Amino acid sequence: MSATTSHKPTLIGRYEKVIGVLVKYGFADVAMHPPFNRFVPKWKRLIPKHDGMPVTEFTRYERMRMVCEELGTTFIKFAQIASNRPDVLPEELVEELQKFQDHALPVPVEDIRATLEQELGDKLTKAFESIDYQPIASASMAQVHRARLVGGQEVVLKVQRPGIGDTVELDIQILKSLARFVEDRFDKFDAYQPVELVKMFEASIHKELDFTLEAGNVRRFEEQFRGNPDIYVPTVYTELCTEKVLCMEYIQGIKCTDLKALERIGMTGPELALKGINLYFEQVFDHGFFHADPHPGNIFVLPDQRVCFIDYGMMGTVMEPDREMLADLLLAVHDQDTEGLKASLLQFSWDEEKIDQKSLEYDIGEFFQNYTNIGLADIDSNEVMAALNSLFFDYKIRVPSNLLLLLKALVIIEGVGLMLDPKYNIIENIHPYVSRLLRRKYSPAKLTKRMARTLGELSKLATSFPEDMEEVIEKIKRGKLHIEFEHRGLEPLDSALDVASKRISFGLVLGALILGSSLLVIADVPPHYKNIPMVGVIGFVVAGLFGLRWMASIWRQGKF
């Protein structure tokens, strides 16, 4: 079906699809609650088997992955982004979510052609000599085609899947409803921050849906490495880029893990590991703008031995203060400094007061004890990162998402380095960059700048202090000085008291209604029907209805 004749998805239709998949994988308990229960036909409330096996044979985390896989693009992307939050998700779930492979069936040729005509208009015939409509890659968000510009330049066209934006918007609404439901009904999931995860995902996927942002990423990346002889950045053709189409230079290079092909251009695996990963460290610690998905398929080597990164859709940014925090953490790991690592982890935390610092210190000591008798070259940094992630999760240390994205990217790039050189050790090789960043942090120029800023703030305070004190004294004299108190953490108590007071009031009214009706029946107050006082009966009926309504309200909240 072509893009012009396809049916636009509806929210109700998408809800029914989500519910069907939830029930299929044994999450009927979720589908039976608002907002899903309005859309669940009775015949769908039976839980079928999966691949001939009862769903109870799979773990809950495996079934969560299966649900995301079957629901497609939005849920797969959400799972991939959620897997970057090991500080709020359990390790078993993160491992399942990291199994996703972003691939999809190709889009029909007529749909791709229709999208290109709609986005590029006359440029499609004027700028392109030919387009190969057989994709060289097909992912859930877009697919990639080779093409040739007028003049012979080989390019690739990244074309967004037709209608994906509409489906994504509907799925975001469903994810928000689901996240709110989970957060409201299941207190044990509060630590996972489902609503915050959805908000983070919404911002991320909106960026991925706009290919002009990816074109901007390429240009920024090229500017920061301009003049560097070890790296090559593909040319992006801005005039042929739109929100749904990206046009950039086709890279005819060697996949970074093809050791035989590397030998033919005179390069060994260890040489490439050192050059490529040093370029990555430069991205992170010198520029603060880095490729966030550096897997082997996104790194090529040109015949002149220059390294070329492709696919700039997922980039990370880390500001200098955060780079310094990360440097402190990595240096503490390298030096096995318990106090230093504890201080670094607490720097990451947004709510330091809730952390049991003594227990954290013991766990860090145990963390280092595991590596005391192991040589630096034998330490597996994957295990180190996993152990750090466990500390983040166990102590509810909520790390900024950009830093977690960076930690994950460092693990990926280390895996690439080990493919090229089994003896490569990222902790040892990262140390010079970390030390250089910290030397820059405490350099005389930086310290002078900080001192000048501090003196400026003190000067401003000293200048305004007499005037501020005069104003305070004047308010005291006139009796107009007010002190405001802020109560924190009392919202749950306030809400509970409000509910309790309403229920008590309702109970008193209900009891009075029952008692009054009883007196009317005993007093035999007319009118009568078959010798029964009707006013009293009506009172009992109203009291019964109110009582049922009261019990239903308590039942819905699940609190007795």
> What's the whole-number average pLDDT of the chain?
78
- The per-residue pLDDT for range 102-119, each reduced to its tens digit, is 566 788 999 999 999 999
Q: Can you give the pLDDT at residue 79?
A: 77
User: Pick the catalytic residue: 87, 111, 171, 293?
Assistant: 293
Distance CA 555, CA 317 (A): 47
Confidence of residue 452 (pLDDT cuts 50, 70, 90): confident
Burial of 548 (0-12, 13-18, 19+ CB in 10 A): exposed
Q: How confident is the model at residue 272 (pLDDT cuts 50, 70, 90)?
A: very high
| Residue with more model confidence, 466 or 83 | 466
- Burial string for 1-18 (b: 16+ CB within 10 Å, else e) reads eebeeeeeeeeeebbbbb
**Is residue 376 scored above 50 in pLDDT?**
no
4-21 per-position pLDDT tens digit: 445 667 777 777 777 677
Give the pLDDT score at 458. Answer: 74
Beta strand ranges found along 235-329 (DSSP E) = 245-249, 254-255, 289-291, 299-301, 307-309, 315-317
Yes or no: say if 39 and 192 are a contact pair by the CB < 8 Å rule.
no
Looking at the chain, the whole-number percentage of residues with pLDDT higher than 70 is 76
Task: Give alpha helix (H) positions in 395-443.
Answer: 401-420, 426-441
**pLDDT of 191-244, one tens digit each?**
556 777 788 778 878 888 899 999 999 999 999 999 999 999 999 999 999 999
Q: What is the mean pLDDT of residues 505-523?
A: 76
Written as six digits, the tokens of 378 are 């034998």
- Residue 518 pLDDT class (50, 70, 90 cuts): confident
Q: What percent of the chain has pLDDT over 90?
A: 22
Contact criterion met (CB below 8 Å) for 331 and 434? yes
pLDDT number for residue 221 = 95
Residue 351 in this model has a pLDDT that exceeds 70: no
Give Cβ neighbours of residue 194 (< 8 Å, ≥ 6 apart).
178, 179, 180, 182, 183
210-219, 284-293, 297-306: which range is least confident on average?
A: 284-293
Q: What is the model's pLDDT at position 358?
A: 80
- The per-residue DSSP string of 521-534 comes to HHTTPSPEETTEEH
**Looking at 160-164, 190-194, 358-362, which range is the least confident one?**
190-194
- Select the highest-mean-pLDDT range: 26-40, 409-423, 478-492, 536-550: 409-423
Residue 525: CB partners within 8 Å, gap ≥ 6? 533, 535, 536
Residue 48 and residue 11 in contact, taking contact as beta carbons nearer than 8 Å: no
**What pLDDT score was predicted for residue 508?**
79
pLDDT at 381 exceeding the cut of 90: no
Rounded CA separation 26/456 (Å) = 62
Q: What is the pLDDT of residue 5?
A: 46
Q: Which is higher by pLDDT, 80 or 463?
A: 463
Query: Residue 522 pLDDT more than 80?
Result: no
Segment 343-349 shows an average pLDDT of 76
42-46, 244-248, 332-336 — most confident range? 244-248
Q: Are 64 and 93 in contact (CB under 8 A)?
A: yes
For residue 155, the cross-strand partners are 147, 249
Higher pLDDT, 271 or 442: 271
Q: For residues 59 and 230, what is the distance between their CA atoms, to the nearest angstrom?
A: 47
Contacts with 225 (C-beta within 8 Å, 6 or more apart), sequence order: 231, 233
The model's pLDDT over 68-97, given as tens digits with 9 standing for 90+, comes to: 777 777 777 777 767 756 655 677 777 787
Q: Is 293 a catalytic residue?
A: yes
Q: Within a 10 A sphere around the Cβ of 466, how many other Cβ atoms?
A: 9
* Predicted pLDDT at 110: 93
The mean per-residue pLDDT over the stretch 331-356 comes to: 75
Q: What does the pLDDT read at residue 46? A: 47
**Top-ranked range on mean pLDDT: pick from 43-52, 443-452, 523-532:** 523-532
Residue 294 pLDDT > 70, yes or no? Answer: yes
pLDDT, one tens digit per residue, over 126-156 is 999 999 999 998 877 889 999 999 999 999 9
Q: Report residue 549's pLDDT band, with 50, 70 and 90 as the boundaries.
A: confident
Give me the mean pLDDT over the 352-374 stretch.
72
pTM over 0.75, yes/no: no
Check: CB of residue 86 under 8 Å from CB of residue 393: yes
pLDDT of residue 47: 47
Mean pLDDT of 257-261: 91
